[in-house]
Amino acid sequence: MGYPDQRFDVNLSILFTELPLLERPAAAAAAGFTAVELWWPWIETPTPPQAELDALKKALDDAGTQLVGLNFYAGQLPGPDRGALSVPGEESNRFRANIEVAAGFAASVGCTALNALYGNRVEGADPQVQDALALENLVLAARAADRVGAILLVETLNKPESPLYPLVSAPAAIEVVDRVNAATGLGNAKFLLDLYHLSMNGEDLSQVIKAYAAKTGHVQIADNPGRGAPGTGDLPLERLLDELKDAGYAGWVGLEYKPGERPSADSFDWLPPSARPAG
């Protein structure tokens, strides 16, 4: 048990950001990792030119890295936005334009998990109207994901850092997951369980794991406080990951932490090199 018993991947949208996007897969591989994940890399557009999609696929292939998680278009992330799918008007339209693009790219690289960030509450918009729009868009995304053999992820964020985001507890995200699965009948909507965000919300992490491991499709970690590498804060991450495994979770664990002042490659000293390749 412990860290060597997990399947880790590196989030290339928060680690190795000191490098251009197309150099990050090779940097992760040089650090010993064979699996990576990404937020939607083109924050300005849901529909980048095919040449840019091809270049990213080539960078992943050349590095020998497997993309195991990808966000749908989520607006300005990092930045003020926390997704687009529940935001009426142009942002919702941009999310819809992105669905087939993101699913198609995922299929081209063998990525089987697509994360759909819910989006912030908008001043002047009725929350019920936003939630109805969100369900509509999540159903479209779930069906597209299913067509390419992927799951759809719904993520809880944390209220201190994302005060306008409505899904700031595990039960809130699980409710959306259940609603999407009921609407599609596909069963491919899953919970993205991020131990950092849940801890920032003050949730009982062991209890969340017990209650929702069976509905969890992906896990992400960072220590708290600080959102740094494991060991820089107070979270018993090794024990919590063991609890997830004991509860039946056998999926990926995304490293979604800030490396701090040092280069990203120097932030993995908590993990033995032998435990970095995806087994």
Return the active site residues: 155, 256
CA gap 15, 265 in Å, rounded: 9
25: nearest Cα among 52, 62, 69: 62
220: nearest Cα among 10, 71, 25, 3: 10
Extended beta strands in 39-134, E state: 66-71, 113-115
CA gap 32, 29 in Å, rounded: 5
CA gap 181, 152 in Å, rounded: 10
Extended beta strands in the chain, E state: 7-11, 35-38, 66-71, 113-115, 151-155, 189-194, 216-221, 252-255
C-alpha R_g of the chain: 17
Burial of 262 (0-12, 13-18, 19+ CB in 10 A): exposed
CA gap 146, 188 in Å, rounded: 7
